[in-house]
Amino acid sequence: MADILDGKRIRDEILRECAPRVEALKAHKRAPGLAVVLAGNHAASEIYVRNKVKACAELGMYSEKLTPPESVTTAEMLEIVDRLNAREDIDGVLVQLPLPKQVDTQQVLLRVAAEKDVDGFHPLNLGYLMTNRPGPRPCTPSGVMQLLKRYGIAVAGRNAVVVGRSDIVGKPMAMLLLHENATVTICHSRTADLAAVCRTADILIVAMGRPAFITEDFIKPGAVVVDVGINRVTDRTVAERIFGPSSAELASFDQKGGLVVGDVHPLHVREKASAYTPVPGGVGPLTIAMLMVNTIEAAERRLR
């Protein structure tokens, strides 16, 4: 049976390490400040933002949530970002995605000052990532690297396959692995014989947004599997196909009306991998922990 890589435990370790840094900043001048802009009505985004605000409160950091309406325009979003960029009490500005469809997302993200970009999405910070210079790293890939490091999983010299080429996870994930001397392959929707490529992976990282898509056929025996996907399944036939007709998970589905699953088949990964991240409770908690780290580091840089 594969070992479980517990993201909650690693999150708690990271947050404990953050606490004295926050106290040092408060003693010197003030607590780090994070502003989150949540536009419109998006249930999943509201949960994420609530967890981010909660993490700030637990660390003694200042946080502020701005909630423009679903009808917000690009110009109005840019004005909000400009005001936050100018404020001395705000060290980090996070624009929660997705934005309403009429808003130019790229224009808004580009407007966030690079020194306050705690998501690590600004082109300047992505350039620092590419060239392995200090700067904020995208939170989810950075959290994955912390998970591997703190569980003592060797990266150097191993074959790593990243399934998904998004700017938020796939591409920065590949760069971080490369900087740690892994041999990296990035896969996507046009990869020929995806399963065969995945089976070459000593470390398989999946971020594609398709529930339980990666089955045992994709996993090399003994591989480390990191599942970044978070998919809510509301179709009972899909849940039954994944877990079976007599499973406890299906009973839970019937009680709750839905289940959260990753991109990797949760039963197959237990049998084929040497270690894996569960969903929920794997990568998700680390994303928020690394957001706290990025905000604290932004405050420390601004004080210097």
| DSSP bridge partners of 232 | 260
Q: Measured between alpha carbons, how far is residue 195 from residues 2, 161, 187, 248 in Å?
A: 20, 11, 10, 29
Q: How many helices (H) and strands (E) does the chain have?
A: 12, 11
Q: Is 96 tagged catalytic?
A: yes
Strands in 168-215 per DSSP E = 183-187, 203-206
> CA 23 to CA 234: how far, in whole Å?
44
Q: What sign has the CA pseudo-torsion 23, 25, 28, 31?
A: negative
Retrieve residue 151's tokens: 């569980």
Q: Which of 96, 171, 202, 263 is catalytic?
A: 96
The Cα diameter of the chain in Å comes to: 59
Tell me if 59 sits within 8 A of 47, measured CB to CB.
Answer: no
Q: What sign has the CA pseudo-torsion 212, 203, 191, 284?
A: positive
Q: Measured between alpha carbons, how far is residue 63 from residues 32, 85, 112, 296 in Å?
A: 8, 15, 17, 12
> CA 256 to CA 236: how far, in whole Å?
11
Q: Which of 91, 119, 202, 227 is catalytic?
A: 119
> CA 253 to CA 232: how far, in whole Å?
11
**What kind and span of H or E run contains 300?**
helix 284-303
Q: Is 119 tagged catalytic?
A: yes
Q: Measured between alpha carbons, how far is residue 148 from residues 152, 167, 170, 226, 283 in Å?
A: 6, 21, 16, 9, 11
In 137-235, alpha helices (H): 139-150, 170-179, 194-198
Retrieve residue 35's tokens: 């502003």
Q: Which of 52, 116, 220, 272 is catalytic?
A: 52
Catalytic center residues: 52, 96, 119
